Structure 1
Amino acid sequence: MSKVFDPKKLLKLESEDRYKAVPPKETLIKTGLKPEYSVADIGCGTGFFSIPAAKYVNPNKVVAADISAEMLNFVNSRKIDEEIKNIDVVKMEPMIIPLPDNTFDFTFCSFVLHEVPDQEKYLNELLRITKPGGRVVILEWQVIETPSGPPVNIRIEPEKLNEYIKSETVTSKEMMVIGDWFYATIAHKR
């Protein structure tokens, strides 16, 4: 398995540079989030996307799930500090998302897939929890040298990611560039 992000470095995920490089609310809207959606942020980290999503879709439900207790504690602190009532925090295992089938309109997974040993299986889990007609958004690093981020050799080519998403599961797929270093693959569930 690729190296998983070290939770001891969680404040790096909250840097001003990161907010400039990939503005969370704008990125969520650009990839199709609507105010009436329910949201699952899988691999939520510090709540970088979960917190803005919860504010945008309020009072609809947002679930922030992660394998790291430290990250989830950070999200819980932010939730309390910012008085956000519509976000639930869920501890998950590396390859098991403990959420019901066909639950979310918008399933979001940012900068996680390159850390996963069985990416195709993980994508199927993301699709499983997404409602028919919903969308799964995978945000990843472009396969180029950048001043920060994971090593280039573990980043995922958009074409490869597209291959993992089975056409019998989705009605359409699209890809868009996000900022200078990232891309989003969006799958619309059948």
Structure 2
Amino acid sequence: MPTKTSVDKVEALLNPTLEETYDPQSMIALVPIHNDQKVADIGSGPGWLSIPLAKYVYAGTCYAIDVQEEMLKHVKEQGEAAKLGNIETLVSKENSIPLDDESLDGVALSDVLHETSKPKTLIKEAARLLKKSGWISIVEWLPVEGKAKVGPAASKRVVQQEMREAVEALGFTTLTSRQLTPHRYIIVARK
């Protein structure tokens, strides 16, 4: 049985305010994605990015990956409602994803690095999944001074430059690293 805290978290993710979301198309427009690719939304939550990704890779596959089964249940429901047959859901551990090495063309890490205890380890795990010339997209919250009005606490946010350096240390080439919205940044890199 889910705890009250997990139910509250699911409810907050299913009913975000405008400041807590961004248009998934703004991320998709910046990545070198093709309609026949195999991509993963790591830390998918209820699927608000997985569904647009699956629509874009209509001739490929979108893996919605999360540590919480109840989140993946929502992804499946949304995929069925949208009549998408190319979404696969996978339960993962925090820094261990049950997919083969070099099995994906692209990976999205959106609003998930600030939730993990070891963000660089999760980036390394995502890199393991990517084929040569595969792409990675990281969307996270910009740092703030004092108490954050929206998003995670200032102390939980991951620094853009540190995440970019972690990706580049794994041999990736940064394609773009910039502010995506008033509250978020994006890093897109290729293996």
Q: TM-score, normalised by structure 1?
A: 0.87
Shift of residue 173, structure 1, vs aligned partner: 5.2
Instruction: Indicate how the Cα distance of structure 1 residues 100 and 171 shifts in structure 2: closer, same or farther if over 3 A, else same.
Output: same
Shift of residue 10, structure 1, vs aligned partner: 2.3
Q: Structure 1 CA distance, aligned partners of 2:42 and 2:66? A: 6
Deviations 1:13-70 (A, max 9, x none): 3446448951112322234433333211100001110001101110211100000011
In the alignment, is residue 178 of structure 1 matched against residue 180 of structure 2? yes
Instruction: Indicate how the Cα distance of structure 1 residues 159 and 6 shifts in structure 2: closer, same or farther if over 3 A, else same.
Output: farther
Kindly provide the amino acid, as one letter, of the partner of residue 174 in structure 1: T
Instruction: Indicate how the Cα distance of structure 1 residues 184 and 76 shifts in structure 2: closer, same or farther if over 3 A, else same.
Output: same
Identity over aligned pairs, percent: 27
Instruction: Indicate how the Cα distance of structure 1 residues 112 and 16 shifts in structure 2: closer, same or farther if over 3 A, else same.
Output: closer
Q: Structure 1 CA distance, aligned partners of 2:157 and 2:12? A: 19
Number of matched residues? 185
Structure 1 partner of 2:162 = 160
Structure 2 partner of 1:77 = 77
SS across alignment from 1:153: helix
Q: TM-score, normalised by structure 2?
A: 0.87
Gaps of 5+ in 2: none
Q: Structure 2 CA distance, aligned partners of 1:125 and 1:87? A: 21
Q: Structure 2 CA distance, aligned partners of 1:128 and 1:7? A: 32
Gaps of 5+ in 1: none
The counterpart of 2:149, out of the listed 147, 150, 161, is 147
SS across alignment from 1:30: coil
Deviations 1:114-160 (A, max 9, x none): 12122222111010101110111111000026432110111011111
Structure 1 partner of 2:65 = 65
SS across alignment from 2:41: strand
Q: Structure 2 CA distance, aligned partners of 1:165 and 1:178? A: 18
